[in-house]
Structure 1
Amino acid sequence: MDDASIQYGLLAALAIALLVAAFTDIRSRQIANWLNAAIALGAPLFWWASGLALWPGVAIQLGVAVACFAVLAVLFALRAMGGGDVKLLTALALWIPPTQFLTLLIVMALVGGVLTIVFGAWHVARRQRDRLAVPYGVAIAIGGLWVLAANYLPAAHAAGGNLG
């Protein structure tokens, strides 16, 4: 098996993990620690299969993940973001190159805004008084899947995307 096959297998596993995260977040408003850990622990295999150099490639990925976690930990402390969402987005930062990670954040924010409006309207229509809980893992997963599709599918690669 060549490195490209391993790389695409790992990307497929990541896509499946993102779908699982989205569905479990919808169902229980939680993203399991084991799932976030599996995503994070898969990143070094992806780096290896992609031929990412330790310096500066891996160092940049780790730096982006640490910065992401620092910012999101503040949002978690302010109760603006759930812990599972923080861990999922940090784990994704290990996989996605910085410029593509910005695309993920933009797509995530747009989808998250739509989700908030839809869930807020549903919340008001049902006259619920409890705190609104938006499954933001769905927005994170859609942003991640968007970046994977745009940059790693063979058709996207042929049209000018890159593989790492």
Structure 2
Amino acid sequence: MQMALIGILTGGLIAALVYAIWTDIRARIIPNPLNAGIALAAPLWWYACGTAPWPGVAIQCAVAAIALLIFMGAFAIGAMGGGDVKLIAALGLWLVPLDFMRMIVWMSIGGGLLTVGMMAWHRLRKNEGKLEIPYGVAIAVATIPILAERYFYQLAR
């Protein structure tokens, strides 16, 4: 029963991340209801995974809060959008700390490559105005393999 719930929740989170990619590419926005849904589904995830309230849930909440504070700094200097920051914090509720750090590393690498590519495209097209990077793409693309690796592997057993 719990493995089925883990599979459903993992699939739902991956679908939500794919939707975040689509909206971020299309309109440079990750909708607040999407981020809220991801965050509000985390308690079901904790239940399905058997995460104890102490220290497990407390650690997940701390990871999300610390991520929110750190990435709010990136938002404050204009390096990241608010939807991106909220998505990272919401994912902090789902990913255990080591997986969250792996996601941050891959997100940073992917985001850097995405930024360089977007800058080159922007210059080649001689576009005027501020360059907007769909950083939600890097966040989602970094998260999906971590979810697949850790949780779909468990379902196959």
Under TM normalisation by the shorter chain, which class is it? Answer: over 0.9
* 1:150 matched residue in structure 2: 149
What does residue 89 of structure 1 align with? 88
Larger relative CO (CA 8 A, sep 6+): 1 or 2? 2
> 1:138 is matched with which residue?
137
AA at the equivalent of 1:6: L
Residue 63 of structure 2 is matched in structure 1 by: 64
- Map of 1:2-151 to 2, 5 A cutoff? 2-151=1-150
Contact 1:68/1:93 (<8 A) preserved:
yes
CA distances 1:76-126 after superposition (whole Å, capped 9, x unpaired): 111111000000000000000000101101111111111111111100001
* Cα distance in 1 for residues equivalent to 2:116 and 2:73: 24
Percent pairwise identity: 45
SS of the equivalent of 1:141 reads: helix
TM-score (norm 2): 0.96
Residue 156 of structure 1: how far off its partner (Å) = 9.0
Cα offset, 1:145, TM superposition: 0.4
Deviation at 1:152, TM superposition (A): 1.3
Structure 2 unmatched runs, 5+: none
Runs of 4+ in 1 over 2 A off after TM superposition: 154-158
Q: Which amino acid aligns with 2:26?
A: R
TM-score w.r.t. the length of structure 1 is: 0.92
* Counterpart amino acid of residue 63 in structure 1: A
Distance 2:80 2:105 in 1: 16
1:155: how far off?
Answer: 7.0
Number of matched pairs: 157
